[in-house]
Structure 1
């Protein structure tokens, strides 16, 4: 029996779907334009060590895209929503630790901390029923 793809019908599902879509866009960007993605993250590639480009494609792009595609397909499943939300929440936690421990308290890091928190809150609010249908 083929699996049907449906679009979100409720506000909660729309939030989870939108967070997954943003994650997919970030993943696609890192997968197909890794040098630009690294530059956007303020990282540089050593000319004699192009491994960083492969790492951006695989770890940033591939992992985010894989998580996002499954979240787009199964956006109405609470466990999938929790996984996506937890991933963004731990990303925010890592950013917060960097701000405190690595002296990275810049507008750039605070903006990306806020973005990570918003992207975490969207699917978690849906998973925990905090958004009315």
Structure 2
């Protein structure tokens, strides 16, 4: 079985978004303490459920990113882009209603918008020659 790497630019960008998602998921899943410090979060004293939730989310990112890489289909990239678009929308709601206007939230919003735009742009033909 050969490793598939796309040849056209649009699919390479979508592939890169999937690879970044998988990489971020790997880091979050296997180093939740580091990820929490990076996001400015902490586990409450005596409660370690936060690690389980973060590891679970990291596993989801890792699995979704790897599935998009391995399947390399338009619908998989559409699902990845749509999921990140909804995550960006949820972050906007949080910025507006939860008083979550921090630099980190704005940075993560930009990352989520880019991770949504790359696969969606490929699927809808914005990156084709």
TM range (shorter): over 0.9
Distance in structure 1 (CA, Å) of the matches to 2:127 and 2:81: 14
Which structure 2 segments of 5+ residues have no match?
none
- The alignment status of 1:66 with 2:63, answered yes or no, reads yes
Deviation of the 1:4 alpha carbon: 4.4
Alpha carbons 2:22, 2:61 under 8 Å: kept: yes
Cross-structure match for 2:118:
122
Can you list the C-alpha shifts for 1:69-113, whole angstroms capped at 9, x where unaligned?
A: 0011122x1100110001111110111001100111222211111
Alpha carbons 2:81, 2:116 under 8 Å: kept: yes
Which structure 1 segments of 5+ residues have no match?
none
- 5 Å-filtered alignment, 1:35-74, equals 35-58=33-56, 60-74=57-71
Superposition TM-score, scaled by structure 1 size: 0.91
Moved over 3 A (4+): none
Cross-structure match for 1:89:
85
Distance in structure 2 (CA, Å) of the matches to 1:5 and 1:83: 22
How many residues are matched? 129
Can you list the C-alpha shifts for 1:56-77, whole angstroms capped at 9, x where unaligned?
A: 111x2110001000011122x1
Distance in structure 1 (CA, Å) of the matches to 2:31 and 2:48: 14
Superposition TM-score, scaled by structure 2 size: 0.94
Alpha carbons 2:33, 2:51 under 8 Å: kept: yes
Cross-structure match for 1:23:
21
